[in-house]
Amino acid sequence: MSFRLFTCARCAREILDRHLLKVHGLTWHLKCLKCSVCAMSLGHHNSCFIRNKAFFCKKDYTSANDWVRRAGKDIYHLACFACISCKRQLSTGEEFGLVENQVLCRLHYDIMLLNLQRVSDNGGVAHLEGNLPMDCIPKTAKRPRTSFTSEQLQVMQTQFIRDKNPDAQTLQRLADVTGLSRRVIQVWFQNCRARQKRNQVHDIIPPLGSCKSSEMPLLSDNLLFLASGRLQTH
């Protein structure tokens, strides 16, 4: 006889409900899984929608296009809520900064602060007229390279085994589940296909390191170098 103790992802207490609710890889009390907008319980409901790790009832999920975000006293269209530096649209829960009613992602907010610091270190406002913080914001910054969490990788890899070329719909679902943008997901699958193809070649031709000694009687310095994978260049 085995006891499996399940704890709720929201309240962290043991689940003694008649039914065990499993959503998004986590277990929940029926009444703990709520729409993040209207707070209605989703546990007793037929559908549950996920976007960027937040849960929604159907109504609030579909009306999401009209969503706005509140930041300070101001309200932004969801689409307008993007970093003015790198133009990237920010996700729910993501950190942001506000400078004169302009939205900044965490990264470029920090960069702005650094620049601001540097300016003040170099003698303050003397050279700059008027709008100091704005001048410290890089104008068209590159989008930073995203790094995936292990959970996001898990989701994508699982899908990749099932289907290496997911259609647009599946792509969107993955984006919703992981909280990543559709484009990022798409690029990952492109790169993953390329990676697999590349590695297949290596599977056919065994790498040098795995050769058996009988096949390589001449143990030269070069082999040593290959084995260690590191050459020290003086």
Partner DNA sequence: CACTAATGAGCGGTAAAGAA
Partner DNA sequence: TTCTTTACCGCTCATTAGTG
Residues near a copy of itself (CB under 8 A) are 1, 3, 7, 9, 12, 20, 22, 24-26, 44-47, 49-52, 62, 65, 72-74, 77, 79-80, 82, 87, 95, 98-101, 106, 110, 113, 116-117, 120-121, 123-125, 132-133, 147, 149-150, 167-169, 222, 224-234
Q: Shortest distance, CB of residue 3 to a copy of itself, whole angstroms?
A: 8
Nearer to DNA, 122 or 200 (CB): 200
C-alpha separations of 3 from 6, 23 in Å: 10, 21
Close Cβ partners of 3 (under 8 Å, ≥ 6 residues apart): none
Longest dimension (CA), the chain: 77
Query: How far apart are the C-alpha atoms of 195 and 202, rounded to whole Å?
Result: 11
- 54-71 per-residue burial string, b: 16 or more CB within 10 A, e: under 16: bbbbeebbeeeeeeeeee
Residues forming contacts to DNA in the complex (CB under 7 A) are 142-148, 165-166, 168, 184, 186-195, 197, 229-233
Minimum CB distance to DNA, residue 111 (Å): 12
Question: CA–CA separation, 180 vs 117, rounded Å?
Answer: 32
Smallest gap from Cβ 204 to a copy of itself, in A, equals 18
98: partner contacted, choices a copy of itself, DNA, none (Cβ within 5-8 A by kind): a copy of itself
CB nearer a copy of itself, residue 26 or residue 216? 26
Residue 200 site contact among DNA, a copy of itself, none (CB < 5 to 8 Å, cut-off depends on kind):
none
Closest of 38, 20, 40, 39 to residue 30, by C-alpha:
20
> Do 133 and 122 meet the contact criterion of CB atoms below 8 Å apart?
no
Count of CB atoms situated within 10 Å of the CB of 92: 14
Question: Shortest Cβ distance from residue 108 to a copy of itself (Å)?
Answer: 14
Residue number with CB closer to DNA (118 or 143): 143
Q: Choose between 26 and 38: whose C-beta lies nearer to a copy of itself.
A: 26
Shortest distance in whole angstroms from residue 200 CB to a copy of itself: 17
Per-residue DSSP letter, 62: H
Q: Which is nearer to a copy of itself, 22 or 164 (CB)?
A: 22
Q: Do 51 and 60 touch, CB atoms closer than 8 A?
A: no
How far apart CA 59 and CA 41 sit, in angstroms, is 13
Q: How far apart are CA 89 and CA 81, in angstroms?
A: 6
**From the list a copy of itself, DNA, none, which binds 145 (C-beta under 5 to 8 Å, kind-based)?**
DNA
Smallest gap, in angstroms, from Cβ of residue 226 to a copy of itself? Answer: 7
Q: Which does 213 bind (CB under 5 to 8 A by kind): DNA, a copy of itself, none?
A: none
